[in-house]
Structure 1
Amino acid sequence: MVTLKKGRYSARLAQSAADVKAAQRLRHLAFWGGDGSAVDADAFDHECNHILVEDEGTGTLVCCFRFLSLTGGHEIDRTYSAQFYELGALRDFDGPMIEMGRFCIHPGWADPDILRVAWGAMTAYVYENNIEMLFGCSSFEGTDEGQYLDSFAMLRDRHIAPKRWLPKVKAPNVFRFAARLRRKPNVKLAQLRMPPLLRTYLMMGGWVSDHAVVDRQMNTLHVFTGLEIKAIPPARKRLLRAISA
């Protein structure tokens, strides 16, 4: 069972329907706005575990995400990501996997320690359960790729998935940035506009699909993102273990 306390924040697994409902309310607030009373929910919520990050002083839920555990790549077709990407190559992955999704931080909170605690909780679960791959959809806000061209150019140059795992196109509306972009990225702008969650994946050695899905329902552009645990640089592994301890 995941429990983690660091500074003013603590992370734990949801234990009740009320916990899951709280996560769904935060997701709706983060993704859609409103007054925090509506919920963002789908059928995958019943299959997943949910991690809640709370402010210890006030009990405020400041971050949440969910994850789906797989015994191996043969189960890849039952994931959320498989709705949008053809993941046949990953069926050959032989080892425990986790799909991480619906990650969000309360729009009223900007403390970088929140992200650190969330990753610490996920790291603890990964090492306790001998997980070998972490994956999911990493989202850019909005569906206009024009504001993220430097980020996509950097992904093209440095972070495309190995051919043996590369997802193929499945969604009807995609931005094929690896094939279409010809620009040299402005590294500063690329980093500035890269979503924080995706930036963290990449810092650990993660990789992405060669195209982004245009998801108008969620008002995002997202890329499939994978991370083989054995590929995390040793210094980064030590840092993650320290956070999760």
Structure 2
Amino acid sequence: MTQTALTAARRPERQLRAERLIGPAAVQQAQALRYRVFSAEFNASLSGADKGLDTDDFDAWCLHIGVRDLATGELVATTRLLDHRAAGHMGRFYSEGEFHLHGLSHLQGPILEIGRTCVAAEYRNGGTIAVLWSELAEVLNEGNYSYLMGCASICMQDGGLQAEAIMRRLRERYLCNQNLRAEPRNPLPALDVPANLIAEMPPLLKAYMRLGAKICGEPCWDREFQVADVFILLKRAELCPRYARHFKAAV
């Protein structure tokens, strides 16, 4: 057995638990994790940065969920959820700040928006995402939401080469604007990218596609976060059966 295998064998299996982050202290932990991930990896310009937090006005209206490492007590993953009722109080969904969502009012059934998803780098694997997904599943089922929507990000620090290479694949396999068409308020600049350029799809975006989500148009350039945001829509009734177990959902 190699030294690497021995080290892996001795490493205790992590005990992760999904939870709903209730109360100011718990939400602040989520905001601190978001700040660490977004500022370090994207060099994002964040509100609340002087306090080491990522904050905005939507936080107060969202349900925040997360994953905690029971051995350390550390919050290692988080996302926030905004439903149609809370969006009504805010005057819009968060995504509408980046996209004109044509057809949104015609979607049949309640809608849940997911956003600000992040995972600590050392926990970025399928197991952590599955634990987070399990709590998301509980929320979806409790609210009987018909649609899950939101944005998944692609880094733009290379000037957009990765984003364009990934979008080529997404347009071929996952583009669908039958239910909703997302028109970016700030489209990506046109790039002449070699046809043979290949880029790895970000884990979160890949996870959405595996679940059965579709992209609804071209991405929006979010200059504050230095990312290209792709709008995704997942119809709960069309959840991919192979991955439905992650959502504890009957399809």
TM-score for both structures, normalised by structure 1: 0.83
Is residue 107–residue 179 contact of structure 2 (8 Å, CA) maintained in 1?
Answer: no
5+ residue gaps in structure 2? 1-12, 44-48
Matches within 5 A, 1:55-134: 55-70=69-84, 78-134=92-148
Residues in 2 aligned to 1:157 and 1:73: alpha-carbon distance in whole angstroms:
32
Deviation at 1:112, TM superposition (A): 2.8
Match of 1:38 among 46, 52, 59: 52
Matched, 1:233 2:240: yes
What amino acid maps onto 1:154 in structure 2? Answer: R
Matches within 5 A, 1:169-208: 169=184, 171=185, 173-175=186-188, 189-190=198-199, 193-208=200-215
Is residue 177–residue 217 contact of structure 2 (8 Å, CA) maintained in 1?
Answer: no
If you compute each CA radius of gyration, which structure gives the higher value, 1 or 2? 2
Q: Who is 1:3 aligned against?
A: none
Matched, 1:162 2:177: yes
Is residue 176–residue 210 contact of structure 1 (8 Å, CA) maintained in 2?
Answer: no
Q: Percent identity?
A: 28
Matched, 1:17 2:30: no
Deviation at 1:71, TM superposition (A): 5.3
Residues in 2 aligned to 1:195 and 1:119: alpha-carbon distance in whole angstroms:
17
SS class of match (2:58): helix
5+ residue gaps in structure 1? 1-5
Matched, 1:29 2:62: no
Q: Who is 1:48 aligned against?
A: 62
After alignment, is 106-115 or 202-211 more displaced?
Answer: 106-115
4+ residue segments displaced more than 4 Å? 34-37, 71-77, 180-186
Deviation at 1:176, TM superposition (A): 7.6
Residues in 2 aligned to 1:50 and 1:37: alpha-carbon distance in whole angstroms:
19
User: Quick one: structure 1 residues 7 and 96, their matched pair in 2 at CA, closer, same or farther if it must change by over 3 Å?
Assistant: farther
Residues in 2 aligned to 1:78 and 1:20: alpha-carbon distance in whole angstroms:
22
Is residue 75–residue 91 contact of structure 1 (8 Å, CA) maintained in 2?
Answer: no
For residues 165-185 of structure 1, what are the alpha-carbon distances to aligned partners after superposition, in whole Å with 9 as ceiling and x for unaligned? 11123x2x31288xx889767
User: Quick one: structure 1 residues 18 and 92, their matched pair in 2 at CA, closer, same or farther if it must change by over 3 Å?
Assistant: same
Residues in 1 aligned to 2:115 and 2:91: alpha-carbon distance in whole angstroms:
15
Deviation at 1:97, TM superposition (A): 1.0
**Matched length:** 230
Aligned Cα root-mean-square deviation (Å):
3.1
